[in-house]
Amino acid sequence: MDVENGYGIGPMSGPTVSPVRVPLIYSFPFASPTDKPEVFKALITRMALSVMNRLEESPTLKRSGIILDTPGSLNDPKSSYDLITHLISEFSITTILTLGSERLTSDLTRRFATRSNPTEDPITVLRITKPSGAVERDAPFMKSLRQQQLRQYFFGSSTESLNPHTHTLRFDHLDLFRVNSSPSSADQPSSFGGAGDDFDDDDYDVPYASKTASNTTFEKITPTSAMTGGMVAIKFCPGSSDEPTVRDSAVMGFAYVSEVNEAKKTVRFLAPHPQQWGNRALVWGSGWPEAVADLVA
């Protein structure tokens, strides 16, 4: 982790001070986990399989443990506590730190005070007092921060300059999926098979994916001008994969849609890597992250 970038921000695709491994990334193309909780749970389960298998392979890493940084939106008892419980269960969390919220601390303490299985490790809930000088980050600030991170992903920073590459592809050479933002009829538990070896190919491709609910979440579409300024996630799985595999597959990178020419049926992308991604599946989010109109001239 680069402390100058901040906790939870991945390294850039350029030179780094210390060697880094290729990160294991999953894309949740919605603004909040509560928008599609069943998709969020499925991705958490898939990620937990890879992470926990990696810990089992290394006694040093297992002793060190892991830290999960959850979004602040997961503090609503009606819609979010079930997601918190899922995270705790999948990653075998034993200590929970809450920041500032007394209600959240009390609710979680009551929920995990007694474990149904006496062989399970106890869960400790600790409250961290928010410093008096801390202020809430409002929506305009967070939007500005996201746009800044997008620019840094493609162009680097003042100390590490990056040169992205342009790719122009025809509509018929793209396998593009758009997520459906309509509410789901039900949450279904997910079960995944396979085990990863140090985040190898089994972690990035999903040969055994769970089935989703009857309603479609990832719909294959034809590119439109509405995509201009948006981001697409480039999946490791091929575009011919079924919907559960597209949902659960890890991400190899992101591309910016700089232009959609509907007359010529072409899309111009901006990507960090000069090599094209072949027949990989592309996922366009449900307005997330927000479009950035002036990323390129």
Q: What is the structure's pLDDT at 134? A: 83
- Supply the pLDDT for residue 74: 84
Which superfamily does 37-132 belong to?
Answer: P-loop containing nucleotide triphosphate hydrolases (3.40.50.300)
pLDDT score recorded for residue 247:
93
Please tell me the pTM assigned to this model: 0.80
Ramachandran bin of 100, using left for φ above 0, alpha for ψ from -120 to 50, beta for the remaining angles: left
Q: Distance between CA 216 and CA 65 in Å, rounded?
A: 37
Single out the residue of 102, 98, 151 nearest to residue 123, CA to CA.
98
Q: What pLDDT was estimated at residue 113? A: 75
State the Cα–Cα distance between residues 13 and 253, nearest whole angstrom: 10
- pLDDT on residue 16: 59
Any bridge partners for residue 251, and if so which? 235
Residue with tokens 């746009």: 147
Q: What is the pLDDT of residue 265?
A: 97
Identity at 147, one-letter amino acid code: Q
What is the pLDDT at residue 207? 42
- Beta strands 95-99 and 124-128 are parallel
Sequence spans of domains, the chain: 37-132, 135-182+216-296
- Spatial separation of the C-alpha atoms in residues 255 and 2, rounded to whole Å: 23
Q: Where do runs of H (alpha helix) occur along 156-239?
A: 201-204
CATH for 135-182+216-296, options being 2.40.30.330, 2.20.28.270, 3.30.360.10, 1.25.40.80: 2.40.30.330
Residue 91 confidence (pLDDT)? 95
Specify the residue for token string 């089935």. 211
SS3 content of the chain, % helix, strand, coil (to 5): 30, 20, 50
Positions in the chain short of pLDDT 70:
1-21, 115-119, 181-215, 297
Which pLDDT belongs to residue 198?
44
